[in-house]
Amino acid sequence: MTKPEILMMGPYPAWDLEDLESNYKVHRLWEAADRAAFLSEVGGNVRAIATRGEIGASAELMKALPGLEIVSCYGVGTDAIDLSHAKANGIRVTNTPNVLTADVADIGVGLLLAVARQIPRADRYVRDGHWCNANMHLVTRVHGKRVGIVGMGRIGVEVAKRLAAFDCPIAYFDINRRDDLPYTFVPNLIALAGQSEFLIVTLAGGASTQGVINADVLQALGGDGILINISRGSTVDEAALLDALERNVIKGAGLDVFWNEPNIDERFLTLENVILQPHHASGTVETRQAMGKLVRDNLAAHFARQPLLTPVI
C-alpha cells in the first residue's frame, strides 16, 4: 500500500521522526534550499502537514497543497495556523493540549521563584566568591503574596493550584468568570495588576490578546510587582516591558516567550531584573514524547478514518 505523503515544517525529535518515516512518505520542508520549488515538486501529493506551534501553517502554504486534509500541530498554540482558511477549505487541524499543561505551570512557578528569590544571582554570588566577604542582599518572598493570573484556562488553573499551596491569594482575569473555581474573578486587567504582587500571563496567543500586557498594566503592577509570561510573546507589549524593566517601573520579570524569538531584543541581555528562558516550558523528555505521540496518533486516526483525538477544527 502506498504511504500517505506528509509535509514536515520543522524538525521533530528522533523518536517521532522514525515513527513518521515508517508510516508516511515524509517531505522535510525546512531542509529545502528553494521552498517554492520544493512545494511545486511535492505539494500535489501531500495530504497532511506536521508542524510546530511556533511555525504554524499559513494560508499561502496550504494553498500550495491542493490535496491537504489535515494539519497536526506539535504544541497547544494554533495562532500561527490560518484556522479560517483551514475551516473554509475543510482542512482538519489538531494540537496537543493537556499533555504539556503541568510542565508549563511548573516553569511558571519556577520563573517566579527565580525572579523573586534571585536564584541565578545567588548562584553567581557563590561561584564568584562574594559570599566569603559578605552575605548576599535580601530578596523577595513568594509565599503569601497576592497573585494575579491572566487567562484562567488549563495552564492558569494549574498555576493557581501550585501557588495556592504557597498560601498565595489567587485572583484572575479572563473573558468570563469561572464558577467552578474558588479564586477571585477580576473583570478589569488593570485592576487585577493593581492588586497583585505577581502577575502571571497564561493567555492563548492571537490577535485578540496581542499586547494586552501594556504600559498601563505594568504601571499598575508597580515597583514591587513581578511579571511572568509563559503564554506567547505577542501577549506583552515588549517595548513597554523593556521600558518598565529599565526604569524599575516593576521589580522584575521571568520570560519564557518573546516577541521576536529566538532573535530577542538585545536589551534583555543587559538587565539583571529579568530571567530569560528559551521558550522551553514544555521542554521535558516526558512531555515532548507525549506531544509527539499525540501528533502521530491524530495523523493515524485521520488516515484510518477514525475520530481525531484532539481536534481544533
- Are 125 and 222 in the same domain? yes
Please give the tally of structural domains in the chain.
Answer: 2
CATH number at residue 85: 3.40.50.720
Q: Which of 28, 69, 178, 261 is catalytic?
A: 261
Q: What is the pLDDT of residue 164?
A: 98
Q: DSSP label at 21? A: H
**Gap between the Cα atoms of 63 and 89, Å rounded:** 10
Backbone angles phi, psi at 105, to 5 degrees: -60, -40
- Are 109 and 252 in the same domain? yes
Q: Model's pTM, two decimal places?
A: 0.90
- Are 126 and 11 in the same domain? no
- 207: pLDDT strictly greater than 80: yes
- Are 246 and 114 in the same domain? yes
- Are 18 and 161 in the same domain? no
| Domain containing residue 53 | 5-95+285-304
Residue 11 pLDDT class (50, 70, 90 cuts): very high
Q: What is the pLDDT of residue 299?
A: 98
- Are 121 and 21 in the same domain? no
- pLDDT tens, position by position, 241-296: 999 999 999 999 999 999 999 999 999 999 999 999 999 999 999 999 999 999 99
- Is 261 a residue of the active site? yes
- pLDDT tens, position by position, 15-60: 999 999 999 999 999 999 999 999 999 999 999 999 999 899 999 9
Q: Is residue 258 part of a domain?
A: yes
- Are 67 and 170 in the same domain? no
- 1: pLDDT strictly greater than 90: no
Of 99, 94, 184, 100, nearest to 148 by C-alpha is 184
Give the chain's mean pLDDT: 97
Q: Is residue 313 part of a domain?
A: no
> What mean pLDDT do residues 177-201 have?
98
Q: What is the pLDDT of residue 106?
A: 98
Of 234, 208, 206, 228, nearest to 273 by C-alpha is 228
- pLDDT tens, position by position, 97-123: 999 999 999 999 999 999 999 999 999
- Are 195 and 225 in the same domain? yes
- Does residue 262 have a cis bond before it (omega within 30 degrees)? yes
Q: What is the pLDDT of residue 121?
A: 97
Q: What is the pLDDT of residue 145?
A: 98
Q: Is residue 312 part of a domain?
A: no
- Are 34 and 161 in the same domain? no
Runs of H (alpha helix) within 24-94: 35-42, 59-63, 83-88
- Is 279 a residue of the active site? yes
Q: Which of 279, 288, 296, 302 is catalytic?
A: 279
Q: Is residue 140 part of a domain?
A: yes
Torsion angle of alpha carbons 141, 145, 148, 153, nearest 10°?
Answer: 80
> What mean pLDDT do residues 198-207 have?
94
Q: What is the pLDDT of residue 209?
A: 95
**Gap between the Cα atoms of 255 and 106, Å rounded:** 13
- 77: pLDDT strictly greater than 90: no
User: Residue type for 274, please?
Assistant: V
Per cent of the chain over pLDDT 70 is: 100
Q: Strand, coil or helix: what is 119?
A: helix
- 126: pLDDT strictly greater than 90: yes
Q: Which of 52, 92, 162, 232 is catalytic?
A: 232
> What mean pLDDT do residues 227-246 have?
97
Q: What is the pLDDT of residue 206?
A: 87
- Are 65 and 138 in the same domain? no
